[in-house]
Structure 1
Amino acid sequence: MLAPYKDCLSRPHVTYLFATNLLGRLPNGMAPLGIALFLRSHGMGFGVVGGITALYGLSTAVGGPLLGRAVDRHGQPRVLWISAVVSAAGFLALIWAGGNTGAAAAAAAVAGLASPPLEPCLRTLWPDVLDDKRAIATAYALDAALQEVVFAAGPLFVVLIGWLAGPGPALAVTTVAMVAGTLAYVSPEPVRRWRAEPRRPDWAGPLRSSMLRRLLVALACVGVGLGGLNIDTVAYQEHIGQSGLSGILLGVNAAGALIGGLIYGARQWKATTMRQLQVLLACMACCYLLLALVPPPAVAIALVFLAGLFLSPVLACGFAIIGDVAPPGTATEAFAWMVTAVLTGNAAGSSAAGVAEQHLGLWASFLVPGLAALASAVVALVLLRDAAQPSATRSVKATHP
């Protein structure tokens, strides 16, 4: 099982690129909680705290594709360097703003808009660093699995630093991690030499690909499921009356995603990537839909773990398909749109689950991630049908030989 990872990580630059990129991406898991705790420490109400934290997430979703397009035009180092400095200035301004609501909101927006697009940059780079599709597929799977570490470890770091030094220093450490990771990532030769293919100038960029647009809809539905699950676990904890259960459920889901990604990347699959995506989404939908029965805690834990097993492979399939269908010269922007789709879906899922729970009950709230995953599987089925058409302008190739 470990052989594909040993082969991938033994290639020149791969381990270094993973380590530095993940360090720079650590604020993705730290910033939302760090911002919320910092604002609460200055006496802001939960409504304001939630609004500013949401503004940071929305700004990140908006800025990602814009910065991705800049990377495709000007290369990675310059754009990443500048965006890291501007985002750091936003975080520092947020610390300086303290309890000033307007200044804090503006600073959070700047920090989010300029957040360095490290995720899409790394995924765009793999075809240049790795010389065969098997190694590239393994790198995608490892990336999807390790992303769970970022979102699991980030909040823990914020809590630990906040307990030791306070919420202000926690935000400062978030800023340092982003800048240090970004600067370290852009230093090796493969990053400095990378250039996108020549592109056809138009405003749509990668979105002119109908396959990509449909895939983004499917991935947005995956994001809806993740956002809904965040709310569902809290509501389920209150329903059961067991303190800390929400954290256990989310932690088990992240552990499942980590394990699932590692297993997926260690094996060769005969089915095409599109077929894999369809099956994985259908399995995830089944796990989520069964939660609508509001089962006992042991069963709920098992179901969210199983749902997590399919999550990282779904994302890895998404990475591979985007790499195939993105028009020439638009790969970084295309990967950035994937991040935007998932983030936007996440916000919509949280809102939908909250409304469903308030008006219909817990079972309806649990239906949100289930129906979202089912919708994603249906979109994937349409994609599979279109990919099989001989008239398709670009075929979707299998990730694994």
Structure 2
Amino acid sequence: MVSGYVEILRARHAARLLVGTLVGRLPNATAAIAIVLFVRAEGGSYSLAGALAAVYGVANAVGQPVLGRLVDLHGQPRVQLPGAVLSGLAMGVFAFAGVGTPVLAYAAVAAAGLFTPPLEGGLRALWPSVLRKEDQVHTAYAMDAVAQEVMFTVGPLLVTVCVSLWSAQAALLVLNVVGVLGALSVVVSPPSRAWRSAPREAHWLGALRSPGLLALLGAFLFIGMALGSITVAAVPYADEHGGDAVYGWLMAALGLGALVGGAVYGARQWAGEPGRRLRVLVALLAVCYLPLMLMPGAFAMVLLTVVAGVFLAPAIACAFVLVDLHAPRGTVTEAFSWLVTTFTVGASVGTGLAGPVVEAGGALWGFAVPGAAGAVSLLVLACTGRVLAAPARGKVVAASSENDPNRAVEPRFSSGDRA
């Protein structure tokens, strides 16, 4: 397992791109908690804090595919770095202006979310040109999914450390400065500067004109709903079994399960059609959500939550492969950004849906939501199996590689979207 990951990280530029992307995405991973803590430190209400965090999330969901399309059209450095700087400046305005002028606060967090650079999609577009071997790229996708879980686990801890050492305002400023430096590290790297998207057909739908991608996005909307609903359902359970400490352990256990599952999944090569493999992974994911309804004691519940997270990262890694296969020529960054956006929107919908369900039926019915959402996701994949299995148009050996300055002929694992 370790040797496969080490081999990837030893590839030229691979470690730099992975670390730079993770550091560059810290502001995005920590935005919600940083905004809430800052608003409360400024004397604002929880309602205002939640509304500002929601505005940031919506703006981010809108901005990711838009900026992803611009990356495909104009390259990474011209979009990623200006986006990171503008997002950081907007959050700086919010940090210095505070919440005394609500209109300015809303505008600042909206701009910060809108201009957040699509570093996640950009990294996945770069992996094939950095590694060049199909098996290594698939392993890198799994490692990428695991790394995201680490970031979303460590990020909130960094916010609390900054707040305890300095202030909530300092946390906003420091994390955004660090994020800009991470984006800078990525965009000045040779692979990012050399990367060019394949020529694309002019179409207002962009990546969304792919039926296979639409099917995948439909499935992952419900997977996001499942994840978002767990974060809400766990609150009343924790209130009855030990309070905030238990809630923290449950959320950490969910991330731990994803880390373990992603690490194991990426340690071996998987034969067969990825669409079929994704259906199996989503089926296992849905099944593992069901035992949460047993709601045993805290220790057993933490173990069940670990199991519930095991198949999340493998499903995401498998989805990356399918995105690459089905993204229309010249839209690979946009396509990956759409997956990020859809998953985020699904999590927000799941959070909103689980609230009334918990109020009406308690934690038991709250934990029924992720299982139901997982089942619907599986149904979507089952109904669109032929679409996902069909090879995307033009997926053949290219006459020349987009990323090879010598224009050497080489087979691609994905096709015309060498990315």
Give the TM-score taking structure 2 as reference length. 0.92
Specify the alignment match of 2:9 in structure 1: 9
User: How many correspondences in the alignment?
Assistant: 398
Tell me if structure 2 keeps the 8 A contact 1:289–1:370: yes
**C-alpha distance in 2, partners of 1:379/1:236?**
30
Specify the alignment match of 1:222 in structure 2: 223
**C-alpha distance in 2, partners of 1:253/1:123?**
24
Q: Give the superposition deviation at 1:388.
A: 4.5
Specify the alignment match of 1:35 in structure 2: 35
**C-alpha distance in 2, partners of 1:82/1:314?**
32
Tell me if structure 2 keeps the 8 A contact 1:29–1:153: no
Specify the alignment match of 1:18 in structure 2: 18
**C-alpha distance in 2, partners of 1:212/1:321?**
8
Q: Give the superposition deviation at 1:246.
A: 0.8
Distance 1:293 1:202, change over 3 A: same
1:319 aligns with 2:313: no
**C-alpha distance in 2, partners of 1:116/1:227?**
23
Specify the alignment match of 1:99 in structure 2: 99
Matches within 5 A, 1:272-351: 272-351=273-352
Specify the alignment match of 1:231 in structure 2: 232
Deviates more, 1:268-277 or 1:65-74: 268-277
**C-alpha distance in 2, partners of 1:385/1:394?**
17
**C-alpha distance in 1, partners of 2:390/2:117?**
38
Tell me if structure 2 keeps the 8 A contact 1:72–1:196: yes
Report the AA paired with residue 80 of structure 1. Answer: Q
Name stretches of at least 5 consecutive residues in structure 1 with no aligned partner.
none
Tell me if structure 1 keeps the 8 A contact 2:153–2:255: yes
1:165 aligns with 2:163: no
Tell me if structure 1 keeps the 8 A contact 2:21–2:119: yes
Report the AA paired with residue 340 of structure 2. Answer: V
Report the AA paired with residue 138 of structure 2. Answer: A
Q: Could you say what secondary structure the match of 1:361 adopts? A: helix
Specify the alignment match of 2:54 in structure 1: 54
**C-alpha distance in 2, partners of 1:231/1:250?**
11
Distance 1:239 1:192, change over 3 A: same
Report the AA paired with residue 72 of structure 2. Answer: D
**C-alpha distance in 2, partners of 1:243/1:250?**
11
Report the AA paired with residue 380 of structure 2. Answer: V
Q: Give the superposition deviation at 1:387.
A: 3.9
Specify the alignment match of 2:66 in structure 1: 66
Specify the alignment match of 2:140 in structure 1: 139
Return structure 1 stretches of 4+ with deviation > 3 angstroms.
385-390, 392-399
Cα distance per residue 1:32-57 (max 9 Å; x no partner): 11111001111111111101101101
Tell me if structure 2 keeps the 8 A contact 1:28–1:154: no
Tell me if structure 2 keeps the 8 A contact 1:325–1:394: no
Q: Give the superposition deviation at 1:3.
A: 2.0
Q: Give the superposition deviation at 1:9.
A: 1.3
**C-alpha distance in 2, partners of 1:177/1:32?**
17
Specify the alignment match of 1:265 in structure 2: 266
**C-alpha distance in 1, partners of 2:303/2:272?**
27
Report the AA paired with residue 113 of structure 1. Answer: L
Cα distance per residue 1:280-337 (max 9 Å; x no partner): 1111111212212323323321221112111110110111100010000000000000
Name stretches of at least 5 consecutive residues in structure 2 with no aligned partner.
397-411, 415-419
Tell me if structure 2 keeps the 8 A contact 1:31–1:174: no
Specify the alignment match of 2:385 in structure 1: 384
**C-alpha distance in 1, partners of 2:381/2:296?**
29
Tell me if structure 1 keeps the 8 A contact 2:279–2:378: yes
**C-alpha distance in 2, partners of 1:395/1:188?**
28
Distance 1:308 1:44, change over 3 A: same
Give the TM-score taking structure 1 as reference length. 0.96
Distance 1:108 1:166, change over 3 A: same
Q: Could you say what secondary structure the match of 1:198 adopts? A: coil
**C-alpha distance in 2, partners of 1:306/1:146?**
19
Specify the alignment match of 2:125 in structure 1: 124
Q: Could you say what secondary structure the match of 2:25 adopts? A: helix
Q: Give the superposition deviation at 1:243.
A: 4.0
**C-alpha distance in 2, partners of 1:328/1:393?**
9
Specify the alignment match of 1:204 in structure 2: 205
